[in-house]
Structure formats: structure tokens, C-alpha cells
Amino acid sequence: MGKFVVRKTNTGIKFDLKAGNGEVIATSEVYTTEDACRNGIESVKKNAPVAAVEDQTVEGFAAEKHPKFEVYEDKGGEYRFRLKATNGQIIAVSEGYKAKASCMNGIKSVKENAPEAPVTEE
């Protein structure tokens, strides 16, 4: 089972969603307060399970409504996703994946792990 790990950084506070094996599958922006960070976690828990997937790596892709996962290719040629809430704000992003299939598995993992994931502090 996955978990959200809240941790302080030099500039604020952020969270990582970790899979059962400890791998980070999504991470947040840096928030200024712990309350804002926890609100971000709640937003991921609520939006991830119902979010559509918009594959921006396909020519002529269909635009999806928010909430959604956007799959895209970064400047280095790796596949990444970002989860956007109903208001269009980015609430979680992934690491870079060499294979698109791995990126899609990351989205699946977020959808499965986020809703019930406990929140811990590091």
C-alpha cells in the first residue's frame, strides 16, 4: 500500500506519494504551510481516481476536462505526467520515464494508491 510522505525543504513543505515498494510515484510543488500541503494531498486523493488521461504525445490528442493526468514528453525525451485538479492547477507531477508504458503504469499506481494512502511525516 502506498503512502503520502510530508517533508520540510529549505523553502517550505512538500509531499511525495510513495508506492508500497518505497518508490516515489508523484511529488508536489513546495508549499509555504503544512495546511496548504495537506490540502494538496486531499486534492490528489479526491481527483486522482476520477481523472481522465490526456496523452499529449499523440498527434491530434483529445483534450480532456479537469481533473486529468497530462502525459507529455520533456525536453530530454522522457515521458512524464502531471495531475491537474478540477480548477486546472497542477497538484502532483511524476519523475521522468524512459518508456511511455512505465509512465502509464505510474498513473495507474497513483490512481490505485492515492485514495487510501495514509499521510506520514519525515
**CATH number, domain with residue 28:** 2.30.29.80
54: three-class secondary structure by DSSP: strand
Give the pLDDT confidence score for residue 93 in this predicted structure: 98
Per-residue pLDDT of 69-112, as tens digits, reads 999 999 999 999 999 999 999 999 999 999 999 999 999 999 99
How many domains does the chain contain in total?
Answer: 1
Confidence tier at 122 by pLDDT (50, 70, 90): confident
User: Residue 89 and residue 82: Cα distance in Å, rounded?
Assistant: 10
Give the pLDDT confidence score for residue 113 in this predicted structure: 95
Domain with 53, as residue range(s), is: 3-121
Q: Which amino acid is at 46?
A: K
Per-residue pLDDT of 15-28, as tens digits, reads 999 999 999 999 99
Confidence tier at 1 by pLDDT (50, 70, 90): confident
User: Residue 53 and residue 16: Cα distance in Å, rounded?
Assistant: 21
Query: What is the overall mean pLDDT for the chain?
Result: 96
Contact 76, 38 (CB under 8 A): no
DSSP for residue 97: B
